[in-house]
Amino acid sequence: MQSFLISLSSVAIAEMGDRTQLLSLMLAARFRRPWPILAGILCATLANHAVAALIGQRLGRSLTPRLLDCAVGISMVAMALWSLRPDTLEEASPGGARRGAFLATLISFFVAEIGDKTQIATIALAAAYSNLPMVVAGTTTGMLLANAPVVFFGKAFSARISLKPLRYVASAVFLALGLFFLAHALTAA
């Protein structure tokens, strides 16, 4: 359960102000069909994070526990720094209106998530925790928790919420996790 909760909270916080959250806002404004958009986010995230988790699991098996804790700790500290940088979304077509909200979301969200900080976090979390299904379930749930309000209420919230404090909170959470893993690596026998 720990792997699920840490995965969920890490990704939900990391997603705040992220480019895929901005993409969710753009898709919601364009299609105005929240349920197919959320279904597309769910399917794209499951596929993307499952692949990321498999990569993380492979990395986790090939490293000693101490080296693994160091790698995860360093990656979390890097995520803390990355979280401070505001994301932007270049104006791009999310797949065309003819394809519909679901397919446009599925394709654009999967592609936008490649190399994204939530995908990197999933790799690190899967390397750290052996329960792969719980990591993927946690990261996917975190992604949905962060994006569902944007899809349903994004236009109303976008003018009222400052993303800067959210980036600082995300950075602090990643820094705390990184320091935890680094401390564990240094104290491990």
pTM of the predicted structure, to 2 decimals: 0.73
> What pLDDT is stored for residue 103 in this prediction?
93
> What pLDDT is stored for residue 166 in this prediction?
67
Is residue 161, in this structure, part of any structural domain at all?
Answer: yes
> What pLDDT is stored for residue 13 in this prediction?
85
> What pLDDT is stored for residue 133 in this prediction?
96
Q: What is the pLDDT of residues 121-145, one digit of tens each?
A: 899 899 989 899 999 999 999 999 9
CB 94 within 8 A of CB 104: yes
Domain interval for residue 156? 2-87+97-187
Close Cβ partners of 163 (under 8 Å, ≥ 6 residues apart): 16, 17, 86
Is residue 174, in this structure, part of any structural domain at all?
Answer: yes
- d(C-alpha 106, C-alpha 3), whole Å: 26
Is residue 175, in this structure, part of any structural domain at all?
Answer: yes
Tokens of 138: 């946690």
> What pLDDT is stored for residue 106 in this prediction?
93
How many CB atoms neighbour CB 126 within 10 A? 29
For residue 98, the 8-state DSSP code is G
Closest CA to 79 of 128, 118, 127: 118
CB 159 within 8 A of CB 25: no
Is residue 92, in this structure, part of any structural domain at all?
Answer: no
Is residue 15, in this structure, part of any structural domain at all?
Answer: yes
Close Cβ partners of 160 (under 8 Å, ≥ 6 residues apart): none
Tens digit of pLDDT at every position of the chain (189 positions):
889 999 999 899 888 877 788 788 888 877 888 999 999 999 999 999 999 999 999 988 887 878 877 877 887 788 778 767 765 544 444 444 445 899 989 998 898 888 888 888 899 899 989 899 999 999 999 999 999 998 998 766 655 666 677 678 767 877 887 898 889 888 875
How many structural domains are present in the chain?
A: 1
